[in-house]
Structure 1
Amino acid sequence: MIRITLAQMRRSVGRLAAAGIAIVIGTAFVAVTLLAGNVITSTTYDSIAAQYRGSDLVAGGVPVDDAGLDAVRQVAGVSSADEQLLSFQQLEHGNRTIFQGVLATPSDPAMLPLDLADGALPAGAGQIALPPDVAERFGVEVGEDITLVRNTLVDADADVWEWEEAREQLTVTGIVDDPYGAYSMFGGAAVAPATEVQAWEADLLAPGEVSTEPSTVLVGLDDGADVEQTRAAIDTALSSAVTAAGGDASDLEVVTPTEHAESVAAQMTGGDNIIFTTFVLVFAAVALLVAALVIANTFQVLVAQRTRTLALLRCVGADKGQLRRSVLFEASVLGLASSALGILLGTGIAQAALTIGSGMDLGIPLPTSIDITPAVVIAPLVVGTLVTLVAALAPARAATRVAPLAALRPADAPSSARGAGRFRLIASLVATVIGFVVLGGGVAISTVGDAPSDGILVALLGGSMSFVGVLVGSVFWLPRVVALAGRLVGASGPTARLAAANTLRNPRRTAATSTALLIGVTLVGMMSTAAASARLTMDSELDARYPVDVTVSSDLSGDGSDAAAMPVGLAGAIGDVDGVATVVEVPATLSGLTGPGVDPGAEVMVRGVTPDDATSVLRSPEMVAPLAAGTVVVPEGIAEVWSITDGQTLTFDRPDGELEVTAAVTELQDDAVVVVPADLATLDAAAPTTALYVGLEHPGDAASVVPDIQDVVADTEAPVNVMGAAVERAGFEQVIDTALAIVVGLLGVAVVIALIGVANTLSLSVIERRRESATLRAIGLSKGQLRGMLAVEGVLIALVGAVLGVLLGLVYGWTGAAAALGWAGEPAIVVPWADVSLMIGVALVAGLVASVVPARSAVKTSPVEALATE
């Protein structure tokens, strides 16, 4: 029987090609989806954990001294351990001054999160490596000198400590790039020897004073070292060292860079990692669903057309079991061979896309080669084979149930009499209604509940259930919708009316042909809508995280202790930079703070700004909405430090006077509290302008505008720091945009698969209707009219599938965005009109293209030949 089956396959190569193409493309989609999911996850995590690139473990949360570092280095399996130090220093060259973050070189150069672009890393005293922008701004090259200007605390007389300016010459040894944007907010980072950076920081402390700031220790492991065992040993050793030094080790954390990235990603997705952990699985399931439908539709028609051949085998002695095994063996061979080709095609496409993407300026580095894991090979192979087998089960069973003599009689094409059963109708209605109710419940859980992941999972379950109900019931309503659309074009002539009538004559065939496209367009519409809604919602979150695009500050210590007035005219010069929309001058003073529950001796920076100025420059004006005379806006971070509650009465005191105000705690991200200028004047009538809030016309242009602002600042003599929060924001947006582009691109492949399914099914239905087409030709239908009939039929089915898919996609996209981002507030409701128009246009063209080959096949056969009995 195996030989007979293989012989049948050789004789049916043309017919098997349609199913084979669907399987190849479907499995290729699964492979590409898995590979793309790996790339998205790795690049996202690499961007988030960029500062820890190269390290195996990161210890932090507590201050770590030299004894603690030595304790970590002595742990078995540890190859290196260094504190990650970033010291902000004033650099000068010619008439330009730049306040620049300087990173200490680790003992293992591989743990430096920067790439050496030119020259060498500094190896000794008096050396430094600069970011490209800083070197260009100074106009220096490798081997030239710049000046370091820093303050040191010296004993002037009788233990009276004073600040003294020190100037040192530094030689530029190299240029360092920041490919993942680890220090993009600071305009990159320079690099200096660790001993130098440690000395610079020590000079800022009085004798005996110890820094209480939490440290970050980067740990490298030996090859083959067990990560978990080493992590536990580091935790024990470092806890003991911190406790021995009189510290509290309760906040100590030892994590991998990936775990850090997962934690940050969880914060950006409502406190749970569900979006990233289920990403690959969801889209693999999407790929499976689309591929399964196309393969099943194609293979069902293919096997059904061979019913007479199978019946003939029954006549010559084959039993039902042999026929069933023959069909399943044929499906297995076809599935395995096509799946293997699909894997090769998918990996080739993924590698080509990665190669092209790596050569483009996407804003984030991409890996140079794909990572072929066992799942990438096994999953598509198993999926393609199993789907083909499942698609063959029903036709094989149907063929064995037909009596041999009845099967050998000529048979007409199926008619509308072969409708779906009542059970299917009830099941589809129940699944659809319950699914939409559960989907709404998931949105509600995500919006008002404490566990967003639960809401997402419930919404995913409800969406899947309702979509399955829609698909199962499509045989009842989809052909009628197509026929209704056919009436609109029926007035154009008999050809169009025939095409519309054909869609009703076989509802199963019409539903099967259109459902594949309906799925693909629904998924693309869903992702496009969800992506647009998510982008606006995430913009709101980024607005909260980065409320000011660029901050130009002269209060370099961060606490205002060495605040200096902003250089005269700097605000106007920055305002003239192309791309800058608003510049607000912000005076500030350091003030004592008292209030119920506030620790004695508390001091905070107090900024003064009018509500109108704050609204004009902040991305989230609502964060300063309570600002008014007698009210102080307190950022949540400061409120937590000093135990300040909303509505609490606070008293600020300065030599010039006292100010009693009511606290309004908001989500403002700042290191200072905010009052109106009149209240600030009560505290300090001569409070200097220590900061400029700069708003950009377009935050996405930050990478080009911020360097221009830094150029202006570099020409001033005073040390001024530029914090380009918009640059880091743009980096996050680039990651989001790249991920969404890949997702939409993947689902675009689903539409391609669906369109091929439309063409395959239409081709096979033409073969199935050879006698019908011949009859039409015999009674006078011309070749052109036959082509027109098939073209109208293809366009109707494709266009209706696309329009309904768009509508379903909008519903699922909106509810999906609400479920995934309900924790962030009310999600934005967006209609991606450009994507909607594109999908409908593609469906219109695809319907025409899909009819070309079947029409050529239909008109080639003469009426007499087609009407002859086989």
Structure 2
Amino acid sequence: MSRPFSAFRANAREHRASILVAALSAAFGVALLASTGVLAAFIAGDDLASRHGSVLVALDVVAGVFFTIAVYVGAIVTTNTFATIIAGRTRTIALLRLIGSSARAQRRSVAGEGFVVGVIGAVAGGAFSATLALAAVRVFVTMGVLPDEPYPVLTPVLLAPLAIVVATTWLASWVGSRRVLTVTPVQALGASEERPATAIRGSRWRNAVAFALVVLGVALLVFGLLLGLGIFAATPIGSFTSYGVLIALPGGVLSFTGIILAAPLFMPPILRGVGLIFGRGTAARLAAANAVRNPERSSRTTIGLVIGVTLITMFVVASQSYLQMIHQAQENEPGMYAGVDSVLTATMAVFTVLIGFSAIIAAVGVVNSLSLSVLQRRRELGLLRALGFSATQVRRMILAESAQLTVASIVIGLVLGTVYGWIGAQALLGSIPGGGLLVPSLPWPFLGFIVLAAALLAVVASVAPTRRATSVAPVAALAVE
């Protein structure tokens, strides 16, 4: 444990965002289990639970789905973060290789840092969330929102999210550090650099895996949707219609993982096309060309914002579709759903908290990816300054890159989030009495807010590191330390 902790302390500044993501993921899991436990106890005392025994089961299913999504998103953000960190440490790792260290030893060291990050983040986030959950229950009881009953807040099951976050953070650091295996000692003579575009396009196994994941994921999504709608009600699997979401969930995870793996192939051309919209000036054209020249870097920074927009849109669309289906069921079967409004209010409060947590996790990932990406381009920016670019032109180029990243990410994220959220809601509640197939419910004002917030976040996240990078003299920036 001492060696990983020593490596962590030496690179503590690089891991601040990863610790925050691990803490948020652990806090999310603890808050989710605590809140659903309280909500289950509240529903158990309501007449609705006696008339619909599946309500509590469905609540547990939803809790598991949301926690899986939170852990998955946290793992993706952490993987991207460690991949960016490794790209910036290329020369240091190569130098260690030059003096005798093996690639596997270096990778174990990075994975050890990930383990320490996971432990620190999980303990901090879990403790904070448990304390907050206790306080929230007492406040709700005092305000009369919840009846004054004993609620199971602090239970042994709350340790499960902590263990899962530590394990996924370690695994994410291991996956993100895979590039260590390709660093050669001769790179100690150069600077930090990304793999060329030809190496990305030539990775046939990665492309094949990405395609297979997308196809399999889409098939599971469709099957989960059909199962949730009761299409197979007359078959032996018809009794599992309420669990269609459990089929759709791995479908969403697999398909989105495939999209992430394939991002270096399809994202750079999209970014280049979007970039051409912003004019034909030198800075704008260079920004558009950078997306194709460094596909790994551009896709890594873009995918962070895609994850954020997709996640928040998915929760918003799912919650609105959930409400729409319940209200339609109330209209079609008014007697069956009498008294459901109090449960709906409590459930939507949980949805609101989940959306807030998701927004924070996504924002941390976006800011960290953009900041690290810009700061690690100090030599590139120094070369542009030495060739005659002014600091204003460099900032304009980075701003153009952020703008094209924002536009492409928002469009892709809105589409994916709408599809995932709608399928999730239909797979969960599509077969309830009085329900059925509905068109996606899109809260346009909220989606408009997401677009503005994502654009502002991308711009702000790139301005500060760009200012720091351009404040360095060109000669100093070009120096090989």
Report if TM-score (shorter chain) is over 0.5: yes
Residue aligning to 2:307: 519
Say whether 1:845 aligns with 2:453. no
Say what the alpha-carbon RMSD is for the aligned residues: 3.0
Instruction: Give the structure with the larger strand fraction.
Output: 1
Preserved CA contact (<8 Å) 1:434 1:462: yes
Say whether 1:435 aligns with 2:217. yes
SS at match of 1:478: helix
TM-score normalized by structure 1? 0.50
**Correspondence list, 1:323-342, <5 A:** 323-342=106-125
- Select which of 398, 410, 413 maps to 2:193: 413
Say whether 1:827 aligns with 2:437. yes
- Separation (CA, whole Å) in 1 of partners of 2:461 and 2:43: 39
Deviations 1:740-780 (A, max 9, x none): 33224313322321221111111211232111111122233
**Correspondence list, 1:144-163, <5 A:** none
Residue aligning to 1:504: 292
Preserved CA contact (<8 Å) 1:534 1:828: no
- Which structure's CA Rg is the greater one? 1
**Correspondence list, 1:359-374, <5 A:** 362=145, 364-365=146-147, 371-374=153-156
SS at match of 1:347: helix
- Separation (CA, whole Å) in 2 of partners of 1:836 and 1:791: 23
SS at match of 1:844: helix
TM-score normalized by structure 2? 0.86
SS at match of 2:350: helix
Say whether 1:277 aligns with 2:65. no
Deviations 1:335-385 (A, max 9, x none): 2122222223333444455455556565x54879871222323422x2332
- Separation (CA, whole Å) in 1 of partners of 2:321 and 2:184: 57
SS at match of 1:417: helix
- Separation (CA, whole Å) in 1 of partners of 2:191 and 2:109: 23
Say whether 1:14 aligns with 2:13. yes
Residue aligning to 1:47: 46
- Separation (CA, whole Å) in 2 of partners of 1:509 and 1:47: 53
Residue aligning to 1:253: none
Say whether 1:801 aligns with 2:412. no
User: Once superposed, which parts of structure 1, at least 4 consecutive aligned residues long, lie more than 6 Å away?
Assistant: 366-370
**Correspondence list, 1:253-272, <5 A:** 261=49, 264-266=52-54
**Correspondence list, 1:586-735, <5 A:** 729=338, 731-735=339-343
Gaps of 5+ in 2: none
Q: Kindly state the Cα deviation for residue 286 of structure 1 after the two structures are TM-superposed.
A: 0.7
- Select which of 334, 341, 347 maps to 1:546: 334
Preserved CA contact (<8 Å) 2:38 2:151: no
- Select which of 454, 462, 475 maps to 2:251: 462
Residue aligning to 2:275: 486
- Separation (CA, whole Å) in 2 of partners of 1:857 and 1:781: 16
SS at match of 2:45: helix
- Select which of 162, 165, 169 maps to 1:384: 165
- Select which of 254, 261, 265 maps to 1:472: 261
- Separation (CA, whole Å) in 2 of partners of 1:48 and 1:509: 55
Instruction: Give the structure with the larger helix fraction.
Output: 2
Deviations 1:445-467 (A, max 9, x none): 33331422354433334334333
Preserved CA contact (<8 Å) 1:310 1:399: yes
- Separation (CA, whole Å) in 1 of partners of 2:181 and 2:313: 41
SS at match of 1:869: coil
Deviations 1:220-263 (A, max 9, x none): xxxxxxxxxxxxxxxxxxxxxxxxxxxxxxxxxxxxxxxxx276
Distance 1:744 1:416, change over 3 A: farther
Q: Kindly state the Cα deviation for residue 836 of structure 1 after the two structures are TM-superposed.
A: 1.4
- Select which of 345, 368, 381 maps to 1:760: 368
SS at match of 2:52: helix
Preserved CA contact (<8 Å) 1:354 1:370: no
Preserved CA contact (<8 Å) 1:299 1:388: no
Residue aligning to 1:860: 471
Letter in 2 for 1:482: L
Preserved CA contact (<8 Å) 2:191 2:480: no
Number of corresponding residues = 469
Preserved CA contact (<8 Å) 2:5 2:116: no
Preserved CA contact (<8 Å) 1:355 1:368: no
Deviations 1:697-732 (A, max 9, x none): xxxxxxxxxxxxxxxxxxxxxxxxxxxxxxx94x52
Preserved CA contact (<8 Å) 2:73 2:307: yes
- Separation (CA, whole Å) in 2 of partners of 1:842 and 1:351: 31
Preserved CA contact (<8 Å) 2:133 2:153: no
**Correspondence list, 1:79-158, <5 A:** none
Distance 1:849 1:46, change over 3 A: farther
SS at match of 2:191: coil
Gaps of 5+ in 1: 50-260, 548-668, 670-727
Q: Kindly state the Cα deviation for residue 865 of structure 1 after the two structures are TM-superposed.
A: 0.2
Preserved CA contact (<8 Å) 1:23 1:335: yes
Q: Kindly state the Cα deviation for residue 395 of structure 1 after the two structures are TM-superposed.
A: 5.6
Q: Kindly state the Cα deviation for residue 321 of structure 1 after the two structures are TM-superposed.
A: 5.1
Letter in 1 for 2:220: V
Q: Kindly state the Cα deviation for residue 288 of structure 1 after the two structures are TM-superposed.
A: 0.5
SS at match of 1:408: helix
Distance 1:533 1:863, change over 3 A: same
Preserved CA contact (<8 Å) 1:295 1:388: yes
Preserved CA contact (<8 Å) 2:79 2:176: no
Preserved CA contact (<8 Å) 1:20 1:334: yes
Residue aligning to 2:391: 783
Distance 1:454 1:287, change over 3 A: closer
SS at match of 1:780: coil
Preserved CA contact (<8 Å) 1:530 1:814: yes
- Separation (CA, whole Å) in 1 of partners of 2:328 and 2:385: 63
Preserved CA contact (<8 Å) 2:220 2:248: yes
**Correspondence list, 1:26-65, <5 A:** 26-48=25-47
Q: Kindly state the Cα deviation for residue 735 of structure 1 after the two structures are TM-superposed.
A: 1.9
Preserved CA contact (<8 Å) 1:357 1:366: no
Say whether 1:293 aligns with 2:76. yes
SS at match of 1:861: coil
Q: Kindly state the Cα deviation for residue 291 of structure 1 after the two structures are TM-superposed.
A: 0.6
- Separation (CA, whole Å) in 2 of partners of 1:835 and 1:34: 27
- Separation (CA, whole Å) in 2 of partners of 1:368 and 1:488: 59
- Separation (CA, whole Å) in 2 of partners of 1:401 and 1:423: 16
Distance 1:416 1:782, change over 3 A: same
Q: Kindly state the Cα deviation for residue 418 of structure 1 after the two structures are TM-superposed.
A: 3.5
What is the percentage of aligned positions where both structures have the same residue? Answer: 32
Residue aligning to 1:422: 204
Distance 1:283 1:790, change over 3 A: same
Q: Kindly state the Cα deviation for residue 429 of structure 1 after the two structures are TM-superposed.
A: 2.8
Residue aligning to 1:310: 93
Distance 1:365 1:425, change over 3 A: farther
Q: Kindly state the Cα deviation for residue 285 of structure 1 after the two structures are TM-superposed.
A: 0.5
Preserved CA contact (<8 Å) 2:41 2:151: no
Letter in 2 for 1:38: G
SS at match of 2:388: coil
- Higher RCO by CA contacts (8 Å cutoff, separation 6 or greater): 2
Distance 1:303 1:359, change over 3 A: farther
Deviations 1:464-505 (A, max 9, x none): 4333333332232223222222222234x3333333332222
Distance 1:275 1:470, change over 3 A: farther
